[in-house]
């Protein structure tokens, strides 16, 4: 795997944003691991997290003109990623949406740069694709073009059918979804850790039961 993916897994574990145990998912499944970007909740961890987003974006080679982050988790992610990209010589405009349109001042339902051109969506994870669908609708309504989605972790598990939520988004909208890391990256990391055999077996069993294959 690319070095930054393994580094990201290690980083998430160190900040306990990635944990092992028994956790119930929205689908009612008992997952042996839990991941939440909301636990990167200080300046240093957010800075490092968005550096990983920037690395994943640059490695993807997706052509884009600006970044968009859906409220609420996408707001710090998109701002931090824009800063991280600027630090690497890529000064990219960004914006995020309001939960309710503003009817005074500058008005509108977004904050930041005007939505135009090719838009790369920055989000945390894709569970059911609801947030992405709303983002794409807003982007298209502004006359811009969604060109991809970047997320922190792809759980690579079945959604309502045989496809994962990520695969559903890719099929429905014809745009790539780029994760910083995937469940397979987590498994590859665990295979190298002598003290995590039990976690490896639990995650592999979950993958075997609910997982999907990459396209």
Q: What is the CATH number of the domain that holds 22?
A: 3.40.50.2020
pLDDT at residue 103 is higher than 60: no
> Is 26 considered catalytic here?
no
Mean pLDDT of 23-29: 85
How confident is the prediction for the chain on average, in pLDDT?
92
Q: How many domains does the chain have?
A: 1
Catalytic residue among 90, 102, 114, 213: 102
Indicate whether 200 belongs to any domain.
Answer: yes
More confident: 101 or 8: 8
Question: 2 pLDDT band (50/70/90 cuts)?
Answer: low
pLDDT at 174: 96
Indicate whether 145 belongs to any domain.
Answer: yes
pLDDT at residue 203 is higher than 80: yes
Q: How far is CA 158 from CA 27, 206, 214, in A?
A: 10, 11, 12
pLDDT in tens, 131-185: 899 999 999 999 999 999 999 999 999 887 889 989 999 999 999 999 999 999 9
Indicate whether 104 belongs to any domain.
Answer: yes
Strand pairing of 118-122 and 145-154? Answer: parallel
Indicate whether 148 belongs to any domain.
Answer: yes
Mean pLDDT of 91-114: 79
pLDDT at residue 104 is higher than 50: no
Catalytic residue among 26, 73, 99, 104: 104
pLDDT at 93: 98
pLDDT at 215: 57
pLDDT at residue 79 is higher than 80: yes
> Is 104 considered catalytic here?
yes
Model's pTM, two decimal places?
0.92
Which range is least confidently modeled, 105-109, 114-118, 194-198?
A: 105-109
Mean pLDDT of 66-88: 96
- State what percent of residues in the chain have pLDDT above 70: 93
> In which domain, by residue range, is 180 found?
3-210
Indicate whether 215 belongs to any domain.
Answer: no
């Amino acid at each position: 795997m690319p070095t930054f993916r393994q580094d990201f897994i290690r980083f998430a574990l160190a900040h306990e944003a990635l944990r092992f145990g028994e956790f119930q998912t929205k689908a009612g499944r008992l997952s042996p691991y839990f991941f939440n970007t909301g636990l990167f909740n200080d300046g240093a961890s957010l800075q490092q997290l968005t550096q990983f987003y920037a690395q994943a974006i640059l490695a993807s080679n997706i052509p884009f003109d600006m970044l968009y982050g859906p409220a609420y988790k996408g707001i710090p992610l998109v701002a931090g990623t824009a800063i991280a990209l600027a630090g690497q010589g890529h000064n990219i405009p960004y914006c995020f949406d309001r939960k309710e349109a503003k009817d005074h001042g500058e008005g509108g339902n977004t904050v930041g740069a005007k939505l135009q051109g090719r838009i790369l969506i920055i989000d945390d994870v894709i569970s059911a694709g609801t947030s992405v669908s709303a983002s794409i609708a807003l982007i298209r309504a502004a006359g811009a073009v969604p060109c991809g989605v970047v997320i922190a972790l792809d759980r690579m598990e079945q959604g309502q059918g045989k496809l994962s939520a990520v695969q559903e988004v890719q099929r429905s909208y014809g745009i790539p979804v780029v994760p910083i890391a995937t469940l397979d990256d987590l498994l590859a990391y665990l295979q190298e850790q002598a003290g995590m055999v039990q976690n490896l077996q639990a995650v592999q069993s979950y993958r075997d039961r609910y997982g999907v294959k990459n396209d």
